[in-house]
Amino acid sequence: MNRARRARIVATLGPASRAPGTVKALAQAGVDVFRLNFSHGSHEDHAAALKAVRGAEMALQRPLGVLADLQGPKLRLGRFRDVEIAVAPGQRLRLDLDETPGDETRVCMPHPEIFKALREDHLLLLDDGRVRLKVIKRDDKWADVEVLSGSKLSDRKGVAVPQAVIPVSALTPKDREDLAFALRMGVDWVALSFVQKAEDMAELKRLVNGKAACLAKIEKPAALTELGAILDYSDGVMVARGDLGVELDPEDVPVAQKQILRMARQRGVPAIVATQMLESMTSAPAPTRAEASDVANAVYEGADALMLSAETASGDYPLESVAMMNRIMERVENDPLWPGLMDAEHAGMDEHDVDALVAAARKAAEASSTACMVVFTTLGGTARRMARERPLQPILALTPNPDTARRLALVWGLEPRLGRQPESLEQVTEDAVQAAMEYGLAEPGQRVLILAGTPFGAPGAANLLRLAHAPAKAKRRRKA
């Protein structure tokens, strides 16, 4: 079951979609990676969902990735005596550490770390930005603020501080428990929320210890200033436009999205664009034209994957949402202008010989007689490097490692499949040609471009580029 597109689809599982039959149908409709959102649901729910994904994978004979998305720190106000208060521009309010229920003059904000980071004139955004406050005076235990906009404020609303780096760990005690559980289950990716600095990802990678790939969610302006360093510690990145859109002005979010995608591609780090892609399909059978354009633009920008959240987790039309996203992706990639956009930017070669080899492979693959590329990979590094070049031919990534195959399901243009570890050049050629035909990526007589590394079986960079032809009279055994 090959995809007729290069960009990948991530779908969130939830009450509307975690049943085994629905998971299989979603994969058939186009989902490549399934997201488990640890902000919602029990461990039992997530274990059942992962079991359903593995069942669908076996039935469809296609690797499917599972992404565990950790909740991260949630900064919130305390409670009000009457649950809710009215606010108006110009009104003054004190925020403090007193847990007594608040009123129109003060309310608890039980986060001393915020008070220590605040400075005069800093903005505070409450309730997803619906209420905006400016700091007039502050201390390490309180802050006097002025309401800039908003009309009401109620219990436990979220607090965002876009102009400060909050000295709080990106991993809460709940996250650590969820992470340990997710790793025991055998997830393929772990996403860390509210990353602010490279040290956040370094801590996650230390805890994961190679048991999964680590993905940074960029949803804080502070992360943009350290983006390069964060990406250096990340196996993947997500443009989390929901929370990022709270702390950035609306006109800055598309610019940030392009910046993240560009830097991620330069490093060969797969990037997901997320949040409100087809939001109206949570309750409607078709998207708005603006949403269709949003999905299309992310594909034109070369994003590795696009993510559906509430659309598939709790919406009324989960299958229709995936099918629609799949249709939009395929339509974009059939646009005559799309190949030129993919070819417009290539990462510069560094000191690694493999970069020169991959660049040569991309040029060689441009010949019309080349049906596909076959990359032999143990840990996935060579396959990701090849995908970074955005060749138009399909890339069959053969690996003996199921974990590697599942992680590569997130990467642009790759068709990951399990294969034996070759032991000789003849076996490399034979396996590559046979697999390309078996999976319907090459016809008899067509050329297959092969990328591999020697010594065979040893993890490391590719150092072998070979051209082979599928036998003119060969027959495909099956089409997966």
Angle, CA of 285, 292 and 30, to the nearest 5°: 70
The reply to whether 478 belongs to the active site is no
The span from the CA of 327 to the CA of 388, in Å, is: 23
Query: Most distant CA pair in the chain: distance in Å?
Result: 84
Catalytic residue selected from 18, 35, 157, 406: 35
Beta pairing partners, 191: 69, 215
Taking a C-beta distance cutoff of 8 angstroms, is the pair 407, 189 a contact?
yes
Catalytic: 275? yes
What residues have CB less than 8 Å from 126, skipping those under 6 apart? 77, 132, 133, 150, 153, 157, 158, 159, 160
35 has catalytic annotation: yes
CA distances in angstroms from 213 to 72, 331, 353, 389, 457, listed in the order given: 17, 30, 25, 21, 21
Catalytic pick among 5, 217, 265, 384: 217
Answer whether 251's CB lies under 8 Å from 287's CB. no
Q: Check if 417 is active-site.
A: no
- What does the alpha-carbon distance between residue 156 and residue 77 come to, in Å, rounded to a whole number? 5
Amino acid, single-letter form, for residue 248:
L
Q: Which long-range contacts (CB under 8 A, 24 or more apart) does 93-97 make?
A: 93/133, 93/144, 93/145, 93/146, 93/147, 94/142, 94/143, 94/144, 94/145, 95/124, 95/142, 95/143, 95/145, 96/141, 96/142, 96/143, 97/141, 97/142
- Between CA 266 and CA 268 the distance in angstroms is 6
Selected catalytic residue, list 12, 275, 377, 399: 275
Report residue 205 as tokens.
Answer: 């990678």
Nearest-angstrom CA–CA distance, 350 and 110: 48
Q: Residue 284's CB: how many other CB atoms inside 10 A? A: 15
Both tokens of 146, joined, read: 């002025």
**Catalytic residue annotation:** 35, 76, 217, 275
